[in-house]
């Protein structure tokens, strides 16, 4: 099992995805065998904890329409970053006429610094598999593909054991639970760069092709894997489906703290005492989440929060009060993205940080869309000139214009999000930016030409 620090959370917080940190005998995620101290692949323990109850109910007692209706009432939104309502995708996939449909569990985790989905698969494999199987029943698919990074070897081994066990017990494979329905699961390890996380690229990767994002619509739900209707969700999205079926939509809705439904895995790193990941009710504030990781080590102070991964927003300390949920983050100029919060203290130069992130995003852009390919490169160059204290004319206006053009190209979500680091710098940290471009100084002493010139001035 990947060595990872799963952070304890207050007793009253629900555990819908992972067993409670350090739990032994405590109630945990639906069917999470680990909650009772047993191995996560111990099927008997998982079944005793409730695994495959939801699938049994869905197959034996519900119509496809009823399953989708329960999902719609639960308010479940995708955890792959953008928060699209899941039931709309299920409905579209089920209603598209086809001789074959697919369900894809997206656990590739494009952000190289985040490992929440990998940990989920290692600790709650049956919850993810059962959720995907319920989806297969609802949309009329008989093939599930779990796509994940080839380096996630522990997760791959865990999944393969879990699938074998579930097939022997009749929960997966041919004639599931005597229903005459086949649900076959394939584990697909993939190796690629950041853009492989975008769903249309992921589908091409599963087919064995190199790829760039495709214009949507058509969405994968109508034209996806091998041209067939395909339901793609993040692994976390599937993992909560069994609990929604057995517990009813209300239980899931109530699990949130504010603004949404359910819980989400967040990885907290940077300047914190105890970095790790935690399952938090949607709408928990950023400040409360940072407290789970022990807060900022003395004598340092919070300067900013990077929320959403490399194409995330850099938010000011006041954003500690912002609820970690889709709309509040969007309004603040960030997004959930890869599910990470990086706490930044006074030792970091935010101009340098925004510039490095923009360069990463420009390097990852696949090049299919000209505003994104050229525009992000130009934005990265502006960021570099900010760091050197050598802006050319009104670079801030140029930055805003470029962002508008890039966002308008709208081929995939990468371009829209990749403008966030520099835009949030302009929005929240104008003073630090002016230090660089007006006063030729870098308060953190990071930006080298300015740091060197200051050193010369002092000596
Ligand atoms: C550049 C890029 C990288 C992405 N990486 C991931 C990823 O690692 N995992 C993921 O679930 N979704 C990722 N997505 C989002 C997917 O395209 C898709 O929206 C998501 O998997 C849908 O799942 P959901 O309905 O559960 O949110 C990425 C999108 C973009 C544009
Ligand atoms: S927007 Fe950027 S990353 Fe997306 S397809 Fe176009 S060039 Fe590629």
Hey, what are 45's tokens? 């323990």
Interatomic CA distance for residues 362 and 294, integer angstroms: 34
Q: Specify the pTM.
A: 0.95
Interatomic CA distance for residues 112 and 201, integer angstroms: 17
Residues in the chain: 459
Look up the CATH architecture of domain 263-345: Roll (3.10)
The DSSP H or E segment spanning 424 is helix 420-428
Cβ count within 10 A of residue 190: 18
pLDDT in tens, 424-446: 999 999 999 999 999 999 999 99
**Per-domain boundaries in the chain:** 33-254, 263-345, 350-458
Residue 26 has pLDDT above 60, yes or no: no
Which pLDDT band, with edges at 50, 70 and 90, does 24 fall under? very low
Ordered DSSP codes for 191-228: ---GGGGSHHHHHHHHHT----PPPSSSPTTTS-GGGS
Interatomic CA distance for residues 249 and 99, integer angstroms: 31
Question: β-pairing, 340-345 with 276-281?
Answer: unpaired
Look up the CATH architecture of domain 350-458: Up-down Bundle (1.20)
pLDDT in tens, 203-216: 999 999 988 999 99
**Nearest residue to 93 via CA among 135, 133, 60:** 135
Which pLDDT band, with edges at 50, 70 and 90, does 69 fall under? very high
Q: Is there an atom of ligand 2 within 6 Å of 410 CB?
A: no
C-alpha 294, offset from chain centre = 23
Contacts 24+ apart (CB under 8 A), 63-69: 64/94, 64/137, 64/138, 64/139, 64/140, 67/134, 67/137, 67/138, 67/245, 68/94, 68/138
Q: Is there an atom of ligand 2 within 6 Å of 365 CB?
A: yes
Ligand 1 centroid from CA 190, angstroms? 15
Percentage of the residues of the chain whose pLDDT score is greater than 90: 82
User: What CATH class is the domain 33-254?
Assistant: alpha beta
Interatomic CA distance for residues 74 and 86, integer angstroms: 10
Which pLDDT band, with edges at 50, 70 and 90, does 355 fall under? very high
DSSP state of 178: G
pLDDT in tens, 95-111: 999 999 999 999 999 99
User: Residue 27's pLDDT is what?
Assistant: 38
> Which one of the ligands is nearest to 366 CA?
2
In this structure, the residue with its CA closest to atom 8 of ligand 2 is 366
Which pLDDT band, with edges at 50, 70 and 90, does 391 fall under? confident
Interatomic CA distance for residues 159 and 29, integer angstroms: 17
CB 115 within 8 A of CB 109: yes
Q: Give me the helices (H) in 306-369, please.
A: 326-332, 350-364
DSSP state of 85: B
Interatomic CA distance for residues 192 and 110, integer angstroms: 9
For ligand 1, pick from 71, 75, 80, 119 the residue to mutate: most ligand atoms within 8 Å of CB.
Answer: 80
Hey, what are 442's tokens? 């870098």
Average pLDDT over all residues of the chain:
92
**Nearest residue to 400 via CA among 371, 379, 374:** 379
Q: Is there an atom of ligand 2 within 6 Å of 368 CB?
A: yes
Which residues touch 130 (CB under 8 Å, ≥6 apart)?
A: 31, 51, 52, 54, 55, 171, 241, 242
């Amino acid at each position: 099992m990947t060595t990872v620090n799963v952070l304890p959370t207050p007793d009253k917080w629900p555990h819908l995805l992972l067993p409670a940190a350090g739990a032994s005998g405590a109630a945990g995620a639906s069917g999470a065998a680990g909650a009772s101290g047993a191995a996560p692949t111990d099927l008997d323990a998982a079944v005793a904890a409730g695994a495959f109850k939801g699938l049994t109910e869905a197959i034996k007692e519900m119509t496809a329409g009823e399953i989708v209706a329960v999902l719609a009432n639960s308010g479940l939104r995708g955890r792959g970053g953008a928060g699209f309502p899941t039931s709309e995708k299920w409905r579209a996939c089920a209603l598209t006429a086809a001789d074959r449909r697919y369900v894809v569990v997206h656990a590739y985790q494009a952000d190289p610094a985040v490992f929440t989905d990998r940990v989920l698969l290692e600790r709650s494999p049956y919850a993810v598999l059962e959720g995907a199987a319920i989806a297969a029943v609802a949309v009329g698919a008989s093939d599930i593909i779990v796509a994940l990074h080839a380096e996630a070897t522990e997760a791959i081994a865990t999944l393969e054991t879990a699938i074998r066990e579930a097939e022997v017990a009749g929960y997966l494979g041919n004639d599931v639970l005597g229903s005459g329905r086949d649900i076959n699961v394939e584990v697909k390890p993939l190796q690629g760069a950041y853009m492989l996380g975008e769903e249309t690229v992921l589908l091409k990767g599963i087919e064995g092709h190199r790829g760039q994002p495709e214009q949507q619509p058509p969405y994968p739900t109508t034209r996806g894997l091998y041209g067939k209707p395909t339901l793609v969700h993040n692994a976390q999205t599937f993992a909560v489906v069994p609990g929604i079926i057995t517990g009813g939509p209300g239980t899931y809705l109530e699990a949130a703290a504010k603004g949404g439904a359910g819980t989400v895995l967040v990885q907290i790193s940077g300047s914190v005492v105890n970095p790790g990941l935690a399952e938090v009710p949607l709408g928990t504030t950023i400040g409360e989440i940072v407290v789970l990781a022990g807060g900022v080590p003395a004598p340092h102070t919070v300067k900013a929060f990077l929320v959403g991964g490399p194409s995330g927003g850099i938010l000011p300390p006041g954003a500690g009060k912002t609820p970690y949920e889709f709309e509040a983050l969007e309004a603040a100029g960030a997004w959930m993205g890869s599910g990470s919060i990086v706490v930044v203290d006074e030792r970091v130069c935010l101009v340098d940080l925004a510039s490095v992130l923009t360069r990463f995003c420009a390097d990852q852009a696949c090049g299919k869309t000209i505003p994104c390919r050229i525009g992000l490169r130009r934005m990265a160059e502006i960021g570099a000139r900010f760091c050197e204290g050598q802006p050319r004319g009104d670079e801030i206006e140029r930055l805003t214009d470029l962002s508008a053009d890039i966002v308008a190209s709208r081929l995939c979500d990468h371009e829209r999000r990749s403008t966030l680091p520099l835009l949030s710098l302009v929005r929240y940290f104008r003073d630090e930016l002016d230090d660089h471009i007006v006063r030729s100084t870098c308060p953190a002493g990071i930006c080298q030409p300015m740091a060197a010139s200051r050193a010369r001035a002092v000596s």
